[in-house]
A and B are shown apart, each in its own frame.
Chain A
Amino acid sequence: MKCPRCVQRIHRAAGGCPHCGFTLADADALFGAEDVKLRTLTDAAGLMRREEQRRVESAMHRFNRLFPQLFVAVHTGAFKGVSNLRQFGFWLLNRAVFEDLPVDRLNEAGVLIAIDADAKAAGMSFGYALDAFLEEEDTFLCLSRAHAYWLEGRHADGLVKAIEQLTIILKKRSRQVRRDPERFERKVTRPPQVDALVQKIRGGRKVEKEEAPKDREVSP
């Protein structure tokens, strides 16, 4: 888990980045504090023709069909050379209201691919539901699959490839989590607090002390 601004590691349930103090409020200051309505495929930068958009949409539908809890969204835009893709992805997944999604699919289960047409950069963000199952390396692998196509300006092809790669990774994770769910759960649940451990140890000793007199009574 990393901070969208300083890219430093942060601990679970951090209210703000311990390194740079970043929170959602900072992203709101950049992009707006109100919710935004948009579709799961929003080509604001105009990188794709209608036919290409259809291909991307069908790839997104395939993904949504295979993973009934999840969804994938794509947003292209021009950020005027300011590379805020991490912050933008973080902000959009928290502020977006996707009109074409069924109500049972919350933003927690979303994967967002954002493309900055000006800076020629792309980023991937995901919701809390995928915290345990997706690593940064996985998202890099997906973007790498699309890299060659994006270099040639074939944005739709690249997006389809990225979604296909994401599908492969998540299928694998789904099988793994079925076999060993605890391994994934450990990644997101809080480690036992030190105070609780101490109390437990002390409580154990108390029990032993309480039980000891009984033994003495029994013994002659």
Chain B
Amino acid sequence: MRRRFLIAWLTISSLQAANVEPSLPSWDDADRAAVKAGKWLPGSSLLTDEVPADEPPVEKQEPLPGPTPEELAVEQTPPTQIPDKYLGAYFNERPTSFLIDPQKLLTSQQYRDRLSFLEYHATDSSIDLFVYVFGMAQDIPGEVRAEELTERLYSSGRPAAVVYYFLGAPQRSVIYLSPSLTDTVSGAEQKRALQSSVIKSLEKADSVDQLEAFSVQMSIRLYWMERMLSGATVPEAVTSDHEAVKAVASPGMMERLNKNLPPRWWLPVSVILGTMLVAFGMNAWLRYRARYRFPDFEVEPRLGGSHAAGIGAVISFANASVPPALQREQVPDYLRRA
């Protein structure tokens, strides 16, 4: 009961408090006198540029200094110099890895992928492939004589092909062969290998994909160099890596036949095939030799013609939409002339 009374009292008192309106502002005597005298205009403070005294003055901000043209030029062009600290890793000694990237231009994952392919190539081929990765615009220092360096570093050990690959600019790539290969593989063949690899890589847009395509194609070309060393001829253009892989992987027809056909079937099969071949040849020969003759019947001349009066069909081919049967001419010529 008490609680209900308490709630009712609180509700009524809060309603009474809400009904109380705030008091209106009242004029000071001094303000009223100033307005009447015209000294003070209500709202005049809003129409002036003067900052009210109670607000802090806004500090004028100075423009931030932009990059200078020199700075911009430096940022747009990538550095052409290989930092000195990496030169030793590149050129001092024969690398232990097939992929040389001391500048970490590739991510570790990309590096592992490319390296695994080069290692796979090394297991499959007698010519190792070493790929030195440089930046797109980097230049090999002038004091580095790449040919001499290759000769010195790769004179011993397995034959090797050394490629200086510029990431993002595969067309700048250079190839050098170890001394054991330079005598047997011509410069033209080296150039063809490099060109075909560059063409393959330029088919890709991404720089890492370009490196992948380049190394795959170069691996194929090295395979053909290897074949050439063993006496085979090198094709002018290895068009596709897939085709080359197929050519390497798929054995010849005769080899497959040898595997699939037991030796006891060889004689009957060859007899059947030989018979078919002979029959086909005989048929072709007989058809070529065939002559068709007609008996000579006595035909009396007609219409005064001593040689011919056999009148065949006449057909018009002026209209493509009408079949030949409807374009067969059966109208007498003298009617057409009229």
Q: How far is the CA of A170 from the CA of B296 in the complex (A)?
A: 15
Q: CB-CB contacts of B277-296 with A at 8 A, as 1s and 0s?
A: 00000000000001111111
Q: Is B305 in the interface zone, CB < 8 Å from A?
A: yes
Q: Are B305 and A66 in contact (CB under 8 A)?
A: no
* Residue of A5, A107, A177 touching B334 (CB-CB under 8 A): A5
Given contacts A6-B332, A69-B294, A83-B333, contact A124 B303 (CB under 8 A): no
The number of residues on chain A lying at the interface, defined by a beta carbon within 8 Å of a beta carbon of chain B, is 79
Q: Are B303 and A126 in contact (CB under 8 A)?
A: no
Q: How far is the CB of A113 from chain B (nearest CB, A)?
A: 9
Contacts of B324 in A (CB 8 A): 140, 143-144, 147
Q: How far is the CB of A147 from chain B (nearest CB, A)?
A: 4
B268-313 CB contacts (< 8 Å) to partner A: 290-313
Q: CB-CB contacts of B307-331 with A at 8 A, as 1s and 0s?
A: 1111111111110100011011111
Q: Are B302 and A5 in contact (CB under 8 A)?
A: no
B225-253 CB contacts (< 8 Å) to partner A: none
Q: How far is the CA of A12 from the CA of B309 in the complex (A)?
A: 10
Q: How far is the CB of B108 from chain A (nearest CB, A)?
A: 64
Contacts of B312 in A (CB 8 A): 89, 123-126, 134, 136, 138-140, 143
Q: Is B36 in the interface zone, CB < 8 Å from A?
A: no
Q: How far is the CA of A67 from the CA of B291 in the complex (A)?
A: 6
Q: Are B311 and A4 in contact (CB under 8 A)?
A: yes
Q: Is A74 in the interface zone, CB < 8 Å from B?
A: no
Q: How far is the CB of B310 from chain A (nearest CB, A)?
A: 4
Given contacts A125-B308, A174-B293, contact A190 B329 (CB under 8 A): no
Given contacts A1-B302, A86-B333, A94-B305, contact A125 B311 (CB under 8 A): yes
Contacts of A125 in B (CB 8 A): 308, 310-312
Q: How far is the CA of A133 from the CA of B291 in the complex (A)?
A: 16
Given contacts A68-B291, A132-B297, contact A121 B311 (CB under 8 A): no
Chain B residue at minimum C-beta to C-beta distance from A17? B303
Q: Are B337 and A82 in contact (CB under 8 A)?
A: yes
Contacts of A127 in B (CB 8 A): 307-308, 310
Q: Are A94 and B315 in contact (CB under 8 A)?
A: no
Contacts of B298 in A (CB 8 A): 188-189
Chain B residue at minimum C-beta to C-beta distance from A187? B297
Contacts of B39 in A (CB 8 A): none
* Residue of A5, A86, A108, A132 touching B314 (CB-CB under 8 A): A86
* Residue of B290, B303, B314, B316 touching A15 (CB-CB under 8 A): B303
Q: Is B85 in the interface zone, CB < 8 Å from A?
A: no
Q: How far is the CA of A137 from the CA of B336 in the complex (A)?
A: 22
Q: How far is the CA of A2 from the CA of B333 in the complex (A)?
A: 13
Q: How far is the CB of A156 from chain B (nearest CB, A)?
A: 14
A-B contacts, 8 listed (Cβ < 8 Å): A8-B332, A22-B303, A119-B316, A122-B315, A126-B310, A128-B308, A140-B324, A150-B317
Could you list which residues of chain A lie within 8 angstroms of chain B, going by C-beta atoms? 1-8, 10, 12-17, 20, 22-25, 65-70, 82-87, 89-90, 93-94, 106-108, 110, 112, 119-134, 136-140, 143-144, 147, 150-151, 170-171, 173-175, 177, 181, 184-185, 188-190
Nearest first, the 3 closest Cβ-Cβ pairs linking A and B are: A139-B312, A124-B312, A13-B300
Could you list which residues of chain B lie within 8 angstroms of chain A, going by C-beta atoms? 290-318, 320, 324-325, 327-334, 336-337
